[in-house]
Amino acid sequence: MHIPARDQKFTLTINGLPVEGATTFDVTNPSTGQILAAAPQCSPEQLDEAVAAARTAFPAWAALPVAQRRQHLRTMADTIDTHTEMLADLVVQEQGKPRGIARAEVAGLGYWLRATADIALSDTVNQDDEERRSVTRHVPLGVVAAITPWNYPLGQASFKLGPALLAGNTVVLKPSAFTPLANLKLGEVLREVLPPGVLNVITGTGGLGSRLTGHPGFNKISFTGSTPTGRSVMAGAATTMARVTLELGGNDAAIVLPDVNVKETAAQLFWAAFANTGQICLATKRLYVHADIYDDMARELAALAAAVTMGDPAQDEDVELGPVSNLRQYQTVLDLLNDCRDQGYTFLSGGLPDPGTTGYFIRPTLVDNPPDSARIVREEQFGPVLPLLKYTDTADAITRANDSEYGLGASVWGADTEAAHRVAQQLQAGTVWVNESMHLHPHVPFGGHKQSGIGVESGLAGILAFTNTQTLTIKHTQPQA
- Measured N-to-C along each axis, helices 99-117 and 153-166 cross at an angle, to the nearest 10 degrees, of 10
* Distance (Å, whole) CA 366 – CA 439: 23
A 10 A CB-CB count for 82 gives 10
Catalytic residue among 247, 300, 380, 457: 247
247 a catalytic residue: yes
Burial of 260 (0-12, 13-18, 19+ CB in 10 A): buried
* Distance (Å, whole) CA 439 – CA 271: 12
Helix or strand (DSSP H, E) at 62: helix 44-63
Return the closest-CA partner of residue 282 out of 321, 253, 256. Answer: 253
Look at strands 124-128 and 17-19 and give their pairing.
Answer: unpaired
* Distance (Å, whole) CA 443 – CA 463: 10
For 199-290, strand residue ranges (E) read 199-201, 220-224, 243-247, 252-256, 284-290
281 a catalytic residue: yes
- Measured N-to-C along each axis, helices 84-95 and 181-190 cross at an angle, to the nearest 10 degrees, of 160
Catalytic residue among 42, 94, 105, 281: 281
Helix (H, G, I), strand (E, B) or coil at 436: coil
Q: Where in the sequence numbering do the catalytic residues fall?
A: 247, 281
